[in-house]
Amino acid sequence: MAAMKLWDAIMIGTVALGATLVAGAQTVFGQDRVEVPLPDVSQLDEAEATELARRIGEVDVITSNCQDFGISGGEWTLLAGTGDLLAQQLGLDPAEYDRQFNAPAYALLDDPEACDRLGPDAKPLIGQLVEMGGATEPAQPEPAEAEEAPAEDGDDTATANADADAEDDSAD
C-alpha cells in the first residue's frame, strides 16, 4: 500500500512537471516532438470545461498505462495540450489541476477492470477534440503554398534557405 502511494506521488509530480512545461501553449510539442493545433475550448462553460478535463485526465492515464489502448504522439499531445488550456481557463495552476483531475484518474488504476472499461473512450474523446478544432497531426501548408508564400515579418526562413542555395551554387 505504501509503495502504491509513493508511486502515485511520483506520477503526480511527473504530470505536474509536464503540465508546467507546456502550460498556456496553443500549439504544443508531444512525446515525439509532434506539434499539433489545439481545440478552441473558450466557449465551454465552467461545468463543461471541468467535465472535459476529468475525461482527458482519465483517458490520458488509461492510454499511458493500458497496453491495449496506446495512442500516437500527436494524440497524446492533443490530450495534454487541451488539458493545459482547460487548466488555464479554469484558473488552476498545474498543482491544483493535478489534484483535481490527474490524481483521481491515477486512482482508477487500482481497479483491474479500468482499462477495459475506460480504454474504449479514448478514440471518441480524441475525435471530439478534433471536431472542436484540434488535430493529431501538425498543421502544414500545402507544398505549393509553402513555396509561393512570402515570408512573414520576422520569419526569414525562406530568405535563409535562398541564401544557402545561392552559396551552394557559387561553390560549384
Query: pLDDT tens-digit profile of 56-76?
Result: 999 999 999 999 999 999 999
My answer on whether 157 and 114 are in the same domain is no
My answer on whether 24 and 90 are in the same domain is yes
My answer on whether 113 and 151 are in the same domain is no
My answer on whether 99 and 62 are in the same domain is yes
Torsion of CA 26, 98, 73, 65, to 10 degrees: -170
**Rounded CA separation 69/122 (Å):** 8
My answer on whether 107 and 129 are in the same domain is yes
pTM of the predicted protein model: 0.64
My answer on whether 19 and 100 are in the same domain is yes
My answer on whether 152 and 98 are in the same domain is no
Give the rounded distance of the alpha carbon of 116 from its chain centre.
23
Mean pLDDT within 81-86: 96
My answer on whether 67 and 148 are in the same domain is no
> What are the CB-based long-range contacts (under 8 Å, 24+) for 108-112?
108/58, 108/61, 108/62, 109/61, 109/65, 110/4
Quick check: 31 and 76 in contact, CB under 8 A? yes
When divided into structural domains, the chain yields a total of 2
Residue numbers of the domain that contains 154: 141-172
My answer on whether 96 and 164 are in the same domain is no
pLDDT digits (tens, 9 = 90+) for 14-42: 655 455 444 444 444 444 457 899 999 99
User: From the CB of residue 48, how many other CB atoms can be counted at a distance below 10 Å?
Assistant: 12
Quick check: 84 and 22 in contact, CB under 8 A? yes
My answer on whether 91 and 124 are in the same domain is yes
My answer on whether 120 and 163 are in the same domain is no
My answer on whether 130 and 159 are in the same domain is no
